Chain A
């Protein structure tokens, strides 16, 4: 498989990339931290990847998107891209983001707008191929605005809603769109949280993501039981929900 991975250094993307490397895929990695990117490239090659290309990109710099994506398409040359997986994200300090619009805007950019921008640039490419999959890691946080993380949640919901529409739009072109909604994952993003029963490892999440990609699913909750949990959360009447602080 030929895979373009954006936010490639995230714990979840790392675990996914390792699975595909073992299957001798070719991967192009876009991430922010150059030295970690170089390590990851070597790692994936040792694990069996056919080829690994890299590009450093801070996704807050929208002007640089074009050249980065060109680098990716050049890497795959005449070959189709089978999968684009967008995996970057940032969990803001909710209190701070409520008080500082510049921060809120940045967080909505990195969790929402940057993804829309990437999709806008990549969609024509996949359309022209007439096949392939666009997969984006959003979050269960987008399912309902909760007090501790609604800036993050709003940005994730923006992406999920966009994906819903895009999925239909791309149907005639044979391009699949997958919305991946993780629950609680033990990763650098959540390092400051105390972990309990509901937490999953990036490796477990990656296994389920790979399965969802293989089965061409539309929206997946990872692990699967989060579909149930979020159904319950969504069903709570607003009169009650507004009093909940979780």
Chain B
């Protein structure tokens, strides 16, 4: 009897092959999924065993939520309160944006910042300080966090806000799970008159035009550009600018949509420069002549990719990498041109190339967004991809830019340090609050923020 109870209580856990959304790299990990805050604290207080890293929905692309053990927030997903007067919602860190929207939209409430997928958790959204199509006007996700409860590596909890435990707050927002497990958070909401977005698309013939349009529409609420990064020469950087704002008319309703799914990993060769070139051609051609205005249900507007469940399998069994960086405005055009030319020359393309302007950076130590222009590229994994990305790193750093940790699977510690000058402040805090190295990921080792070896030598 004691035996069976023990199996459940101490959580002998399943081992799984885990990866991020890019399916590169994979690790063999055991998954701990505590049922509540107390048992989560117990795991950290207990402190034994291989080190671990918090994990939400696994929507970061690379290795930021990978370690020998992952501490899943999946059962920390209760709503705690919705304050319609103060316009705040408080919920467990494992709650997804989708669940919040499901509750809020019918009541005319909306999240202030959304990523391109609604499947991410609040914990993941804070840990990556995610940005949306409105960063240039509204800032990033953590700019709308009133407070959160942080379970430190020691197992103690701390309530953190921009004023309370300020340094924990600034290190945890964008801190990729390294400062502790976020248990719950209070998020500010905004009011919307309808569940629809009035959306407009404007074609741009080349990079210069794309950037000019982004600047010109800097007052619009949602602004993003899709770029055909296989286009060359005078058409380099051609694309479509998408603008959006909340419609004044239209119902406040929740619609659940039928999803298609990709049940199997397709052979990666299906996505090659010819098929993708074709896709990009079509995409551009569709928008080329019209400057169209539409009323679009918010779900279709913000999360078009979510309707194809498991689309990451399209990149074949080797997976893919997403490469996202930001460049300051003054260096943006030349830096982007060089990047796009280098990519175009390599013949390795992108299914998705997204360009967007960021507003000013916030005070969080490792938050990615900073004033300038960000570009996101997808690359199918191939052994000769990594040298190309190293080459792109040089271009980005030379232009004074940096890379998004939530997308990263391969950046060197040197590249990271140059892009994030606050890294040593972060590391100093990390060493202070986690001397035993209880929390760490494959990424944090690679970036020189933790040492995998440290823990094994101590125990």
Chain A interface category by residue count: 20 to 34
* Bound form: Cα–Cα A106–B14 in Å: 26
Contact with B along A7-49 (1 / 0, CB 8 A): 0000100000000001000000000010110011011001110
Contact with B along A188-210 (1 / 0, CB 8 A): 10011111000000000000000
* Bound form: Cα–Cα A103–B5 in Å: 10
| CB contacts between A and B, total, < 8 Å | 64
* Bound form: Cα–Cα A195–B18 in Å: 12
Main secondary structure, interface of A, reads: helix
Main secondary structure, interface of B, reads: mixed
> Does A92 make an interface contact (CB < 8 A)?
yes
Which residues on the B side are within 8 Å of A40 (C-beta)?
78
> Does A78 make an interface contact (CB < 8 A)?
no
> Does A93 make an interface contact (CB < 8 A)?
yes
Contact with A along B299-321 (1 / 0, CB 8 A): 00000000000000000000000
CB contacts under 8 Å to B, within A38-88, are: 39-40, 42-43, 46-48
> Does B3 make an interface contact (CB < 8 A)?
yes
Which residues on the B side are within 8 Å of A193 (C-beta)?
14
Contact of A35 among B4, B36, B81 (CB under 8 A): B36
Q: Is the CB of A96 within 8 A of B3?
A: yes
Contact of A100 among B1, B8, B15, B91 (CB under 8 A): B1
* Bound form: Cα–Cα A42–B4 in Å: 32
CB contacts under 8 Å to A, within B78-137, are: 78-82, 89, 91, 102-103
Contact of A103 among B4, B79, B102 (CB under 8 A): B4
CB contacts under 8 Å to B, within A77-129, are: 92-93, 96-97, 100, 102-103, 106
Which residues on the B side are within 8 Å of A92 (C-beta)?
4
Q: Is the CB of B79 within 8 A of A42?
A: yes
Residue of A nearest to B31 (CB): A191
Least CB distance from A98 to B in Å reads: 12
Q: A22-B102, A43-B78, A46-B81 are in contact. Are A188 and B35 (CB under 8 A)?
A: yes
Q: Is the CB of A47 within 8 A of B103?
A: yes
Contact of B1 among A39, A48, A96, A194 (CB under 8 A): A96
Q: Is the CB of B79 within 8 A of A46?
A: yes
Which residues on the B side are within 8 Å of A93 (C-beta)?
3-4, 7
Which residues on the A side are within 8 Å of B75 (C-beta)?
11, 188
Chain B interface category by residue count: 20 to 34
Residue of B nearest to A195 (CB): B14
Which residues on the A side are within 8 Å of B91 (C-beta)?
46
Which residues on the B side are within 8 Å of A36 (C-beta)?
35-36
Which residues on the A side are within 8 Å of B12 (C-beta)?
191-192
Q: Is the CB of B80 within 8 A of A46?
A: yes
Q: Is the CB of B4 within 8 A of A46?
A: no
> Does B278 make an interface contact (CB < 8 A)?
no
Q: Is the CB of B81 within 8 A of A42?
A: yes
Contact of A43 among B4, B35, B79 (CB under 8 A): B79
* Bound form: Cα–Cα A42–B35 in Å: 16
* Bound form: Cα–Cα A43–B103 in Å: 11
Which residues on the A side are within 8 Å of B4 (C-beta)?
92-93, 96-97, 103
Which residues on the A side are within 8 Å of B11 (C-beta)?
191-192
> Does B16 make an interface contact (CB < 8 A)?
yes
* Bound form: Cα–Cα A68–B3 in Å: 30
Least CB distance from A211 to B in Å reads: 14
Q: A22-B102, A188-B75, A191-B13 are in contact. Are A39 and B33 (CB under 8 A)?
A: no
> Does B38 make an interface contact (CB < 8 A)?
yes
Least CB distance from A184 to B in Å reads: 12
> Can you list 6 A-B contacts with CB-CB less than 8 angstroms, sorted by A residue number?
A39-B78, A39-B80, A42-B78, A43-B80, A46-B91, A93-B7
With A39-B80, A97-B4 known, 12 other A-B pairs at CB within 8 A are A42-B80, A43-B80, A93-B4, A96-B1, A96-B3, A188-B8, A188-B33, A188-B35, A191-B11, A192-B8, A192-B14, A194-B15
Give the 8 A-B CB pairs with smallest separation, nearest first: A93-B4, A46-B79, A43-B78, A103-B1, A192-B12, A43-B79, A39-B78, A194-B14
